[in-house]
Amino acid sequence: MRYVTFALDTSLGPFTRAGCLTAAGDVIDLNSAYRSTLSDKLDPERASAVADAIVPPDLIGLLGNGSLGRDAVTEAIDSLPTDTPGTRDTSGTTLVHARDAVRLLSPLPRPTSLRDCSAYEKHIANSTRGRIPKRWYDAPTYYKGNPASVIGDGDDVIVPPGVDKCDYELEYAVVVGKAGRDLGATEALDHIAGYLVFNDVSIRDVQFREMSVGLGPAKSKDLDGTNVLGPALVTPDEWDPHEEQRMRALVNGEEWSVGVTTTIHFSVGEILSHISRGETLRVGDVVGTGTVGGGCGLELGRYPVAGDTVTLDIDGLGRLTNTWRAHEQHEGTS
């Protein structure tokens, strides 16, 4: 399954809906599709209420319903007469939208929480000139970010005034689908809802200054629009980071970075297990695994500039594309 969140323009303004992608890349409205399956069992008002409870239009709410929600989604998709764009139910509600008729947002526009690890040894070595702290090997290191700073595929990354080093970071992230605490590494894998591409945009000019104080990144990672997630949440039955998956970053179509998921030092299970010690993982938590070795401008000695388009491409997860815009350009077009 490839879950998405999309914005649908209506006469009452834009509605945000949870959906999934068809094989052709079009978008199924899951809440409407499930309501349609109930239409011959319940009157319209009750069908809407039941659908809103079991397959809500909010993706975190849907994930929180666990197997009940997943089974209902499967039933709704299997009951569709066709998955071609324009498919409607008997009331005229559109169940399948053409990809270009809606706007994809981040699958989780507002995660429950946001953490990012640094689990790739080569990235640390490249970033520290080989001086990897011995304690780095003890456990997965991470910081907590700003869940309100998330944007999605196609959104602009705004380069703050006076910044020369607005960097990309080539990562994938884990989304938690079941709450848990004090999990073992194998047990933690059962708590994963899926994976998505993560561009951990980093303002290096600020990061170098603030981390010299000794507390870790803050403003350099958490400005509005500096955590990019998308394009879809891919479920574990369709994607496994422990199999070799190629990761690439392109700037204006030119390949800058390339790596593979299997070069990670700590496994996904180990990362989630460590985070869950004495701290409850919750549905909708996003955990970045870290930048793959060679996966950012800092390691290469060059950075995207305003006007550049950055694409992160991970086999099986898709392509996440954003354009760097100068703050002045953004202000002038708002």
Instruction: List the pLDDT tens digit at each of the 334 positions of the chain.
Output: 999 999 988 888 889 999 999 999 999 999 999 999 999 899 999 999 999 999 999 999 999 999 999 999 999 999 999 999 999 998 899 999 999 999 999 999 999 999 999 999 999 999 988 999 999 999 999 999 999 999 999 999 999 998 999 999 999 999 999 999 999 999 999 999 999 999 999 999 877 677 666 666 776 777 889 999 999 999 999 999 999 999 999 999 999 999 999 999 999 999 999 999 999 999 999 999 999 999 999 999 999 999 999 999 999 999 999 999 998 755 544 4
Supply φ then ψ for residue 311, to 5 degrees: -120, 125
Asked if residue 316 and residue 278 are part of one domain, the reply reads yes
Same-domain pairing of 122 and 77: no
Residues 153 and 48 both lie in one domain: no
Last residue of a domain, one of 77, 104, 131: 104
pLDDT value at residue 6? 98
284 and 206 in a common domain: yes
Same domain, 64 and 155: no
Indicate whether 93 and 151 sit together in one domain: no
Number of domains in the chain: 2
117 and 145 co-located in one domain: yes
State whether 93 and 137 are in the same domain. Answer: no
| Among 104, 121, 137, residue at a domain's last position | 104
List Cβ<8 Å contacts ≥24 apart for 216-219. Answer: 216/143, 217/143
Domain end point (choices 66, 84, 104)? 104
Q: What is the DSSP letter of 156?
A: P
Q: Give the domain range for residue 237.
A: 113-333
Residues 6+ apart with CB under 8 A from 233: 2, 3, 4, 59, 107, 108, 175, 193, 194, 195, 196
Helices 44-54 and 30-37: crossing angle in degrees, nearest 10, is 130
Residues 183 and 256 in one domain: yes
Clarify whether residues 40 and 128 are in a common domain: no
Q: How many helices (H) and strands (E) does the chain have?
A: 11, 19
> Residue 266: which CATH number?
3.90.850.10
> Residues for the chain: how many in total?
334
When computed from its CA atoms, the radius of gyration of the chain, rounded to whole angstroms, is: 20
pTM of the model: 0.94
Indicate whether 90 and 128 sit together in one domain: no
b vs e for 133-165, b when ≥16 Cβ sit within 10 Å of the residue's Cβ? eeebeeebbbbebbbebbbbbebbbbbeeebeb
Residue 148 DSSP label: G
Rounded to the nearest 5°, which phi and psi values hold at 199?
-105, 105
- Determine if the peptide bond prior to 231 is cis (ω within 30°): yes
* pLDDT at position 286: 98
Q: Which residues of 229-248 are buried (b: 16+ CB within 10 A; e: fewer)?
A: bbbbbbbbeebebeeebebb
* 235 in the same domain as 184: yes
Pair of tokens at residue 70:
């997943």
